[in-house]
Amino acid sequence: MKNPKSAPTTTRLPVGEACGKDAHRSLKASLLVKDGIIVTLGDKGRVLRGHSILCEDGKISKIAKTSEFKGEYSKTLLADGKVVLPGFINSHMHFYSTMVRGLGKAKSSANFQEVLENLWWRLDKKLSLDDCYYSALLPLIDAIKRGTTTLIDHHASPMAARGSLDLIAKAVKETGLRASLCYELSDRDGEKVAQDGIDENIAFIKRCQKDKDEQLKALFGLHASFTINDKTMEKAARAGHDLGAGFHVHTAEAKSDQDFNEKNFGMRVVERLHKFGILGPKSIAAHCVHVTDKEMDLLKSTDTAVAHNPQSNMNNAVGVADIIKMQAKGILVGLGTDAMTVNMLEELRAALWAQHLAKDNPSCGFMEAASTLLFNNSKIANRHWGVKLGVIEEGAGADLAIMDYHPPTQFDETTVLGHMIFGLSQSFVDSTIASGRVLMEGKKLCLDLDEAAIAAKSMELSKKLWQRF
């Protein structure tokens, strides 16, 4: 249903009225999110009742008591009976894994190295450019449904590397979300493919630097230290440094990564990355399950961010990263999903349970786990975007997740984190807003995209992919 652009619209969220496509297109339009319980997160960490949020030009321009908003706005969302949160951020994702769902052709694997060889490295070599586009589009749509508005992705398609990031960027633009993209450089498929990976990273980083598109950012992607030789690592490091880019790399995900580096390079993973200048405040070290105190100290001294991925780590039986010790040392530890989900509250719960189990202590790790998603992912994103994300405050990006929730117990600054993990995590996202654009309203997508047709096309492509597997 389209509304005349000249007439402001007011929609009470529970009604689920179809939202106009124009609501997601225009950054200039004003959007008032009225009432609801606002959870700001961030340093101030306020829980506000009787307040509203005005979004203009893609940012939050005003937060005040509802009575102060008397003007006319392009659109008003009545969020009473809802909780309004900052849009969630995912600090480590792999869109390309979408088309593996249900695949039963991979050999049974006894360890992580075999998981890579029997499944992921066989899959990524068979991906086409069309596969790259559709495998990104579907999880991005799913992210909207889960209130996730920013994703930091790590892509691999060795035989279709060149142009792959532009197609993924196309999917990002079409969904209205924010994403940082990179290509997974590796030597495992030969020198030519490795050079393609370097060139793809360089081309996309240059595109983002030129376009200055608020939706798209870039990192220089590396698979892992154990699949990159010194010559390629040196070329990648030089290229990244020349462009002023950070790096995104799997780091000591399994013990086998450490064993390989010690045997072949005479140093541990983090030490080798440090040697080549890969670490730093713009870089993300994903996983860090098998790092020593000395390696943690290097991560801290270089101000490198870590992306924790508990569900993936447990699924691959590689262990549980010691995020309690890392954060005690002052390392910035965020939360990723490694493609297991785009539901960040689900991942947060898994992070807490994993710490309990690993430490054999049901009382440890609450703040450390909660901080990864609710505070630290914001800090990681803010290193890459020119606008503040992951917090509801004036001047921040207008990225919001509006969730169904009637608190059954005290709901304020002292209890909100408990509600996030044990209550809101079991609730539904009603509406999602990114850069002030309504992407989903009343649980209905507001996109120029046919989700069923996209899924049907993905099924068609995946059948061919599985035949090539």
pLDDT at 236: 98
CA atoms in the 13 A half-sphere facing the CB of 127: 31
pLDDT at 19: 65
User: CATH says 9-86+390-445 is which class?
Assistant: mainly beta
pLDDT at 144: 98
Pair 425, 55: CB distance under 8 Å: no
Instruction: Please tell me the distance from the alpha carbon of residue 335 to that of residue 314, in angstroms, as a whole number.
Output: 14
Ranges under pLDDT 70 in the chain: 1-28, 105
Q: Are 9-86+390-445 and 88-382 the same fold in CATH? A: no
Instruction: Please tell me the distance from the alpha carbon of residue 249 to that of residue 275, in angstroms, as a whole number.
Output: 15
pLDDT in tens, 310-355: 999 999 999 999 999 999 999 999 999 999 999 999 999 999 999 9
Q: Across the chain, how many H-helices and E-strands are there?
A: 17, 21
**pTM (predicted TM-score):** 0.94
pLDDT at 9: 40
pLDDT at 104: 79
User: What does the DSSP assignment read for 152-178?
Assistant: EE-B--GGG-TTHHHHHHHHHHHHT-E
Long-range contacts of 317-320 (CB under 8 A, 24+ apart): 317/111, 317/112, 318/112, 318/253, 318/254, 318/255, 318/287, 318/289, 318/290, 319/254, 319/255, 319/289, 319/290, 319/358, 320/289, 320/354, 320/355, 320/357, 320/358
Domain boundaries defined on the chain: 9-86+390-445, 88-382
pLDDT in tens, 4-17: 333 334 333 333 33
pLDDT at 321: 98
Pair 261, 272: CB distance under 8 Å: yes
- CA torsion sign for 63, 68, 74, 75 is positive
Q: How far is CA 120 from CA 20, 98, 113, in A?
A: 40, 12, 10
pLDDT at 430: 98
pLDDT at 386: 85
CATH architecture classification, 88-382: Alpha-Beta Barrel (3.20)
